[in-house]
Amino acid sequence: MGQVGRPDLRRLAVRKICLRLGAAMILARGTMTLASTNGVTWADVCAWELVVSADAIPSEQFAAVEFRDHVEEATGYRLPLVAQPSGTNGQICIGPGAAMRACPEGDRGRGFESDDLRILVRDRVIIIDGGRPRGTLYGVYTFLEDELGVRFLTADHTHVPHVDPARVLEPVDRFYHPPLRFRRSYYAEAERDDVFAARLRNHSESMRDPQVGGPPSIRLINHSFGRLLPTAVYGRQHPEYYGFVDGARRIDVGEDWGGAGNQPCLTNPDVLRIVTAEVLGELRDHPHARNVSVSQNDNPYYCRCPACAALDAQHGGPMGSLLTFVNAVAARVGRDNPDVWVGTLAYDYSRQPPRNLRPDPHVQIQLCSSSACILHALASATCPQNADFVRNFADWGRLCDKVTIWNYNVNFADYLLPCPNLRTIEPNIRMEVAGGAQGVMMQGVYNGYGAEFAELRHYVTSRLLWDPALSGDRLIDEFLDLHYGAAAPQIRRFIVFAQDHVAQAGVHHGFAGGAADYGIDAAVARAGLAAFEDALALAGDDAVLRARVEKASVCAYRAALEPVWGRRVPLLIDDAERREMRELAQRFFALCAAHGVTMASEQQSIEAKRARLGWVLGADLGASVLR
């Protein structure tokens, strides 16, 4: 119980977020009106011309190809793709251009933001238009989902249902402005395929292909001081550039992507000069970019020199010196780049907003949920571990209109262990949109394929980032039914069991833990093995379906291996138990090999884990094959 007389700040913040949810969802859903005309059949539409102007950009040309190919798969009719309509039939206009402007109401949508879209169906015309570089492409994908029932499930599985030619396409006039300017579901499955990322409207930083719009303009804010002020370049000659900690400047440290050994001295004027010059150079090299990172390295060694410490004391914590520095960089960047955000992380020691200090108008705050419990929704009234994050989010929202979120939905310590938190994805994204977030990155398994239900997680997350008004439960069911077919009920049975089990256990834990931390015990392992055995039986002789079920079953075998998983010395167990664990391990590693599972955790590969577990069990686990 809280202290009598003190306001519950967390409840106040959640109440504010809930009040804003309705307005945010109205904006997210866009507008839809029925045009004053009768519908047309798909047989009619398939006799029309598909028009994309000769001067269309690559993503608009690709949008027309995606429209043509998916409509052909659904209907059996291949639309003629032309640059100029003949005028003898109806037409489907894709993207801006002369043909679009000649269409009735074809010029109504100009002034789009980059991801905005408009879909118009009326009389003898379909118009799909949008902002550049991706709005028109997103319009095509939205049309395919809404009007044809297409579902982009995985990189190699797109569900395209058959469409009866007599089916009526009703008149529509829809504008959609996505509520998030930056959307990233950070899974390796999305990063490996630009087209798949675009189909689920993800701003993957691996994107380079102009046909999907090229690199996103808003990028993830990540640790950057390590490359902006590398110790290897400046450390020996200028130790004063680096943080003063425990009576010394930290310069004799190893370098890695996050500059893991130190932080800059943020009150040193030369540091400000060097970092500002680096940032301006980066923007010259990447003219499409609309944000740039000026952010702490991934370690706790912020500078405690007298000048930095004084700023931190004045503003109530280490964000004082950090934000003062970032504000100075942003003020200089903004003079020549008024549309660019200078982003910094609010992460670990810098997560608390400062006192008596506001971000410059060009500053972006990327707030990280690094200390939050991943097993419960961030705004859950039953999870005390998440109260600070909710409060921080509300407080930053009062200071800055450019808050983006780094959400964790991953167990870094064990990628393959069941992580029963699928139910948190929808409420977390909705809360963040309603609270005014400009972007959300959902941290998943970014450096390895085949993690626990990674494809399901990526699908649900991506759809909700695009449209937070969707139902998370329905998206989960949709993926299971379409991807696993006859085996879906058994896989759903296991997911529900694991989710309910952890809810009853009442545990709270962050983004790195073992089985007990997440409520995973022998009961979950037994339920998983039984469910997947039944699912494989239902898959029958369907090789594709069996492969999908086998890939999903890796998490159940990982749970069953818990008695030996973390062991570092050979086991003193009886022969029957050793034989059981060996058989489970053989099956587990065979599944990993067959389905491209590469990492056991963020830091350990499957091959390293195979070697360790083989030594513990006194068995060669490298020759196993699926039977």
Tens of pLDDT, residues 262-282: 999 999 999 999 999 999 999
pLDDT at 13 over 90: no
The pLDDT assigned to 130 comes to 95
Residues 334 and 395 in one domain: yes
Percentage, residues of the chain above pLDDT 90: 82
Q: What CATH number does the domain containing 82 carry?
A: 3.30.379.10
Residues 135-139 have a mean pLDDT of: 98
If you write DSSP's letter for every residue of 189-228 in order, what string do you get?
HHHT-HHHHHHTT---TT---GGGTSS-SS------HHHH
pLDDT at 460 over 50: yes
Which of 146-160, 256-270, 312-326, 486-500 has the least mean pLDDT? 256-270
Which of 87-91, 146-150, 269-273 has the least mean pLDDT? 87-91
Would you state the torsion angle of the CA atoms of residues 424, 430, 432, 434, taken in this order, to the nearest 10 degrees?
Answer: -150
Which of 26-35, 389-398, 536-545, 567-576 has the least mean pLDDT? 26-35
Question: Long-range CB contacts (< 8 A, 24+ apart) of 151-159?
Answer: 151/478, 151/482, 152/196, 152/199, 152/200, 152/459, 153/455, 153/459, 153/479, 153/482, 153/483, 154/189, 154/196, 154/455, 154/459, 154/483, 155/189, 155/192, 155/193, 155/196, 157/483, 158/70, 158/199, 159/482
Residue among 245, 253, 242 at smallest CA distance from 275? 242
pLDDT at 193 over 60: yes
Domain span at residue 586?
A: 561-627
Using an 8 Å Cβ cutoff, are 134 and 149 in contact?
no
Residues 38 and 111 in one domain: yes
Residues 534 and 579 in one domain: no
For residue 454, what is the DSSP state?
H
The pLDDT assigned to 39 comes to 82
Among 451, 470, 489, which residue terminates a domain? 470
How many angstroms separate the CA atoms of 383 and 379, rounded?
A: 8
How many angstroms separate the CA atoms of 451 and 449, rounded?
A: 6
pLDDT at 457 over 80: yes
How many angstroms separate the CA atoms of 12 and 298, rounded?
A: 32
Radius of gyration for the chain, computed over Cα atoms and rounded to the nearest angstrom = 27
Tens of pLDDT, residues 407-446: 999 999 999 999 999 999 999 999 999 999 999 999 999 9
How many angstroms separate the CA atoms of 339 and 290, rounded?
A: 7
The pLDDT assigned to 22 comes to 46
Residues 210 and 275 in one domain: yes
Would you state the torsion angle of the CA atoms of residues 499, 504, 506, 509, taken in this order, to the nearest 10 degrees?
Answer: -20
Query: 556 in a domain, yes or no?
Result: no
Q: What is the mean pLDDT of the chain?
A: 91
C-alpha distances out from residue 43 to 165, 334, 479, Å = 5, 54, 29
The pLDDT assigned to 618 comes to 85
Q: Give the number of domains in the chain.
A: 4
Which tokens in the block code for residue 527?
A: 């339920």
Tens of pLDDT, residues 92-123: 999 987 777 777 666 665 689 999 999 999 88
How many angstroms separate the CA atoms of 601 and 621, rounded?
A: 19
Residues 433 and 476 in one domain: no
Cβ-Cβ contacts under 8 Å for 434 (sequence gap 6 or more): 17, 18, 20, 21, 24, 25
The pLDDT assigned to 331 comes to 98
Cβ-Cβ contacts under 8 Å for 485 (sequence gap 6 or more): 539, 542, 545
Which amino acid, residue 459? Y
The pLDDT assigned to 68 comes to 98
How many angstroms separate the CA atoms of 506 and 611, rounded?
A: 35
Residues 109 and 258 in one domain: no
Residues 156 and 301 in one domain: no
The pLDDT assigned to 616 comes to 87
Query: 181 in a domain, yes or no?
Result: no
Tens of pLDDT, residues 293-328: 999 999 999 999 999 999 999 999 999 999 999 999
Residues 495 and 418 in one domain: no
The pLDDT assigned to 10 comes to 39
The pLDDT assigned to 355 comes to 96
Confidence of residue 5 (pLDDT cuts 50, 70, 90): very low
Residues 430 and 508 in one domain: no
Residue 323: count other Cβ atoms within 10 Å of its Cβ.
27
SS (H, E, C) 299-321: CCCCCCCHHHHHHHHHHCCCHHH
Percentage, residues of the chain above pLDDT 70: 91
Residues 294 and 390 in one domain: yes
The pLDDT assigned to 31 comes to 47
Cβ-Cβ contacts under 8 Å for 470 (sequence gap 6 or more): 426, 463, 464
pLDDT at 541 over 70: yes
Query: 18 in a domain, yes or no?
Result: no
Which tokens in the block code for residue 281?
A: 């150079």
The C-alpha angle with vertex 10 and arms to 9 and 13, in degrees rounded to 5, equals: 85
285 phi, psi to nearest 5 deg? -75, -20
The pLDDT assigned to 333 comes to 98
